């Protein structure tokens, strides 16, 4: 298996051929990531191969983090009992995708663990209750549920993972 690393996205990363099989995720990386970064709407981190002596910066996977909130009414009863009745602050895991050429090699899990670690670090200095994801489809929702994400009460595949759970997963 190739060795890879995760680093903050820059304009020097080659994203022109990125193809995850999910057009909205591909379009974001190819056409919108620059604007999100410039406007501080999200921070994107990319996976690149690290064993290339020519400094290859081709993106093989990525994720984006942003600030967000969960409506109190969307929280499951067992969590809501302990929370104030106003929007709950979260880190939004806005996107996570792996290029087709690198799928099935653990990169998606590695990207998720990196995102959770960064979220845990943020929570040390900022009021954050959980990480939230808006899964694109049932396959994506199943991926997140394998790591303990729980469904919110709305009718879409919105999931969350409390920071307290993340601490347990990463310890």
Nearest to 159 by CA among 140, 63, 169: 140
pLDDT tens digits, 7-46: 999 999 999 999 999 999 999 999 999 999 999 999 999 9
HSE toward the beta carbon, residue 34, CA cutoff 13 A:
7
DSSP state of 87: P
Average pLDDT of span 60-66: 98
The topology (CATH level 3) of 4-170 is: Aminopeptidase (3.40.630)
- What are the domain boundaries of the chain? 4-170
Looking at 36, 129, 144, 160, which residue is catalytic?
144
pLDDT class of 1 with cuts at 50, 70, 90: very low
Grouping H, G, I as helix, E, B as strand and the rest as coil, residue 4 is strand
**pTM attached to this predicted model:** 0.92
Angle between helices 163-170 and 107-123 (to 10 degrees): 120
144 noted as active-site residue: yes
Distance CA 62, CA 81 (A): 35
Edge-to-edge, what's the strand order for the sheet holding 43-49? 4-8, 43-49, 59-70, 88-98, 130-134, 158-162, 150-151
pLDDT tens digits, 122-152: 999 999 999 999 999 999 999 999 999 999 9
């Amino acid at each position: 298996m190739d060795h890879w690393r995760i680093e903050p996205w820059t304009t020097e990363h080659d994203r022109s051929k990125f193809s995850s099989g999910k057009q909205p995720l591909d379009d974001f990386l190819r056409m919108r990531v620059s604007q999100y970064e410039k406007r501080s709407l999200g921070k994107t981190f990319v996976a690149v191969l690290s064993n290339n002596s020519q400094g290859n910066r081709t993106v093989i996977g990525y994720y984006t983090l942003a600030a967000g909130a969960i409506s109190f009414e969307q929280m499951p009863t067992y969590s809501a009992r302990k929370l104030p009745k106003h929007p709950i602050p979260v880190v939004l895991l806005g996107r996570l995708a792996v290029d087709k050429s690198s799928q099935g090699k653990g990169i998606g899990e590695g990207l998720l663990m990196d995102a959770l670690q960064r979220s845990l670090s943020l929570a040390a200095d900022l009021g954050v209750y959980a990480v939230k994801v808006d899964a694109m489809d049932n396959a994506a929702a199943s991926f997140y549920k394998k790591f303990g994400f729980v469904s919110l009460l709305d009718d879409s595949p919105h999931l969350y993972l409390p920071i307290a759970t993340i601490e347990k997963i990463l310890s």
